[in-house]
Structure 1
Amino acid sequence: MKKFYNRLKFNHTLFYHQCQQWLGATLPCVLCDAPATARNQLQDGLCAHCVATLPWYTSTRCPQCALPTVAGTLCGICLQHAPAFDRTLAPFRYAYPLNRLLHQFKYHQQLALGNLLANSLLTQLTTLAATERPQIMMAMPMHLNRVKERGFNHALELAKQVHQHSGIALDIEGCIRVLDTPTQAGMDMKTRTRNLRGAFATHKPWQGQHVMIVDDVMTTGASMHAVARVLKQAGATRVTALVLARTLKSDDP
Structure 2
Amino acid sequence: MKTCPCVHAARAARWRWRTTGRSAANVCCTPPLWAGALALGDYRFPNDQFILRMKFGAEPALGRWFGDLLGARWVQGDMPLPDHILPIPLSRERLLERGFNPAWEMARRIAATLNRPGDAYALQRLRHSAAQSSLPLHARSRNIRGAYACDTRWDGQTLLLVDDVMTSGATLHEATRVLLRQGAAAVWVAIALRTPRDSTP
Judge same fold: TM > 0.5, yes or no. Answer: yes
Write the distance in 1 (CA, Å) between the matches of 2:13 and 2:114. 25
1:97 to 41, 46, 68: 46
Query: TM-score by structure 2 length?
Result: 0.86
Counterpart for residue 144 of structure 2:
196
Counterpart for residue 56 of structure 1:
9
User: Does the 8 A contact of 1:94 with 1:245 survive in 2?
Assistant: yes
Q: Secondary structure at the match of 2:60?
A: coil
Write the distance in 2 (CA, Å) between the matches of 1:110 and 1:171. 21
RMSD of the alignment, in Å? Answer: 2.5
Q: Secondary structure at the match of 1:170?
A: coil
Deviation per residue, 1:55-83 (Å, 9 max, x gap): 6321888x334xxxxxxxx35138x9312
Query: After superposition, where does 1:64-213 map in structure 2 within 5 Å?
Result: 64-65=16-17, 74-77=18-21, 81-129=30-78, 132-213=80-161
1:105 Cα offset (Å):
1.2
Unaligned runs of 5+ in 1: 1-44, 66-73
2:182 to 212, 234, 239: 234
Number of equivalences: 195
Q: Tell me which moved more, 197-206 or 187-196.
A: 187-196
Percent identity for Structure 1 against Structure 2: 27
User: Does the 8 A contact of 2:88 with 2:163 survive in 1?
Assistant: yes
1:96 Cα offset (Å):
1.5
Q: Secondary structure at the match of 1:245?
A: strand
Q: CA 1:95 to 1:142, structure 2 compared with 1: closer, same or farther past 3 Å? A: same
Write the distance in 2 (CA, Å) between the matches of 1:52 and 1:141. 27
User: Does the 8 A contact of 1:56 with 1:93 survive in 2?
Assistant: no
Counterpart amino acid of residue 250 in structure 1? D
Write the distance in 2 (CA, Å) between the matches of 1:157 and 1:57. 22
Higher alpha-carbon Rg: 1
Q: CA 1:135 to 1:166, structure 2 compared with 1: closer, same or farther past 3 Å? A: same
Q: CA 1:124 to 1:101, structure 2 compared with 1: closer, same or farther past 3 Å? A: same
**Structure ranking higher on relative contact order (CA contacts 8 Å, 6+ apart):** 2
User: Does the 8 A contact of 2:157 with 2:186 survive in 1?
Assistant: yes
Write the distance in 1 (CA, Å) between the matches of 2:6 and 2:85. 30
Q: Tell me which moved more, 183-192 or 104-113.
A: 183-192
1:54 Cα offset (Å):
5.6
Counterpart for residue 243 of structure 1:
191
Query: TM-score by structure 1 length?
Result: 0.69
User: Does the 8 A contact of 1:55 with 1:97 survive in 2?
Assistant: no
Unaligned runs of 5+ in 2: 22-26
